[in-house]
Homo-oligomer: A and B are copies of this chain.
Amino acid sequence: MTARDGAAPPAHGVSALHPVAAADLLPFPWATTTKPYGTALVELARARPDVIALGADLTRQTETDLVRDELPRQFVNVGMAEQNLMGVASGLARAGRCVFVHTFGVFATRRPFEQVAMQIAYPRLDVKIVGFMPGLSSPGGPSHQAVDDVALMRALPNMTVVDVADATEVRQAVALLAEREGPCYLRLKRGEVPVLFGAAHRLAVPAAQWLFEGGEVTVLASGMLVATAVRAAQVLSDAGLPVSVLNVPTLEPIDRDAVLAAARRSAAVVTAENHAVAGGLGTAVAEVLAEAGAGTPLRRVGIRDGYAQASSAPWLFRRHGLDVNAVVAAAWSAAGRRGDPPTAADVPVETGRYAPV
């Protein structure tokens, strides 16, 4: 059954997903693509000579080899010196350039935090920080896993924080953030990127977008866990628990109205993110709910175990509860359902196809 046709008979005959047509969600299993970001950045840089890309000794890894090779005058490799990287970006932005800064998310946020705070966020400069390998998608262990980057960037006034779900959104994010005045942090999956959305899909910042409506529980998801949430919603609906899914690409500023709508319409809300539960989507949602005095209980799916290991992403996602079954279980218990939650069937996909673990 797919989200698009939405018509396959629910396994238990109780409920079906209510896909939102405007979201243009493609059928599962999704195709993947590579370098959607680099391609979009080259396009932007070609049209806007004021755009300049900075790297920090991770050029191919951040898809900026495309800019380096095609528009060498709009690319500068700052080397492995992330504090200086952010200072140089600030200087370029003060001189009127629109600066895209690239490295792994962990090195874009932890090492140069004070420089980002003082030289980019505070003066509200046009610097777009692009951090690759979010959360546990890095096999490099705790030193390489950006599990707190959203928390760090959300702590900075003036910073827009975006974590997109697929290649279609990646491409649109580049143009949107370039147009948006001021500093942004964009969190990107490295390597193969799934294509969840079709051509009619429109990313907006900071608006959240409903993918499925009418559920008993709403799953609010960001980044890599959007695909996971979609799959979880299918599993849950098949098991008789209708679920709404809200795609929340912008973590700061959070779409307060959408969060409150989710709380109003649901018996419980579940957040799902490839990030520590503290400081990311789950916390942003908690803040909105608590200030509104909403009594809707919240379950947060995210990393709760501190520091992980150096292992493959699928292994880590399962081990740390970022998989489809973890979202299913959270929604199941949040909805007050008894008994064991349903489990997702393991879907083997060919290469070039994406299935969340």
Indicate if the CB atoms of A291 and B300 lie closer than 8 Å.
Answer: yes
A343 at the binding interface (Cβ < 8 Å): no
Residues of B within 8 A of A111 (CB): 113-114
CB distance from A246 to the nearest CB of B (A): 16
Indicate if the CB atoms of B279 and A290 lie closer than 8 Å.
Answer: no
Interchain CB contact (< 8 A) of A278 among B148, B154, B297? B154
A143 to B119, CA, bound (A): 10
CB distance from A120 to the nearest CB of B (A): 12
A261 at the binding interface (Cβ < 8 Å): no
A199 to B143, CA, bound (A): 45
Indicate if the CB atoms of A152 and B295 lie closer than 8 Å.
Answer: no
Q: Which of A118, A122, A290, A298 has the most CB of B within 10 A?
A: A290
Residues of B within 8 A of A110 (CB): 113-114, 117-118
Interchain CB contact (< 8 A) of A158 among B113, B157, B278, B306? B306
Indicate if the CB atoms of B155 and A278 lie closer than 8 Å.
Answer: yes
A residues 95-154 near B (Cβ < 8 Å) are 107, 110-111, 113-114, 117-118, 122, 142-143, 148, 151-152, 154
A178 to B205, CA, bound (A): 46
Interchain CB contact (< 8 A) of A291 among B158, B293, B299? B299
Indicate if the CB atoms of A279 and B157 lie closer than 8 Å.
Answer: no
Indicate if the CB atoms of A297 and B291 lie closer than 8 Å.
Answer: yes
Q: Which residue of B lies closest to A286 (CB)?
A: B290
Indicate if the CB atoms of A276 and B152 lie closer than 8 Å.
Answer: no
Residues of B within 8 A of A285 (CB): 290
A283 to B252, CA, bound (A): 14
Using C-beta atoms within 8 Å of the partner chain, give the interface range for chain A.
Answer: 35 or more
A289 at the binding interface (Cβ < 8 Å): yes
CB distance from A123 to the nearest CB of B (A): 9
Q: Which residue of B lies closest to A282 (CB)?
A: B287
Indicate if the CB atoms of B289 and A290 lie closer than 8 Å.
Answer: yes
A47 at the binding interface (Cβ < 8 Å): no
Indicate if the CB atoms of A113 and B152 lie closer than 8 Å.
Answer: yes
A292 at the binding interface (Cβ < 8 Å): yes
A296 at the binding interface (Cβ < 8 Å): yes
A residues 219-243 near B (Cβ < 8 Å) are none
Q: Which of A285, A286, A305 has the most CB of B within 10 A?
A: A286
A293 to B110, CA, bound (A): 33
Mark contacts of A294-318 with chain B using CB atoms, 8 A cut-off: 1 yes-contact digit, 0 otherwise.
1111111000011100000000000
A93 to B23, CA, bound (A): 53
A107 to B114, CA, bound (A): 8
A88 at the binding interface (Cβ < 8 Å): no
CB distance from A155 to the nearest CB of B (A): 4
Mark contacts of A243-283 with chain B using CB atoms, 8 A cut-off: 1 yes-contact digit, 0 otherwise.
00000000000000000000000001000000010110011
Residues of B within 8 A of A278 (CB): 154-155, 287
**Could you tell me which A residues sit within 8 Å of B by CB distance?**
107, 110-111, 113-114, 117-118, 122, 142-143, 148, 151-152, 154-158, 268, 276, 278-279, 282-283, 285-287, 289-300, 305-307
Going nearest first, the 7 A-B pairs with the smallest beta carbon separation are A293-B297, A295-B295, A157-B306, A110-B114, A286-B290, A151-B155, A290-B298
Question: Could you jot down 5 A-B contacts, CB within 8 Å?
Answer: A151-B279, A282-B287, A286-B286, A287-B290, A290-B290
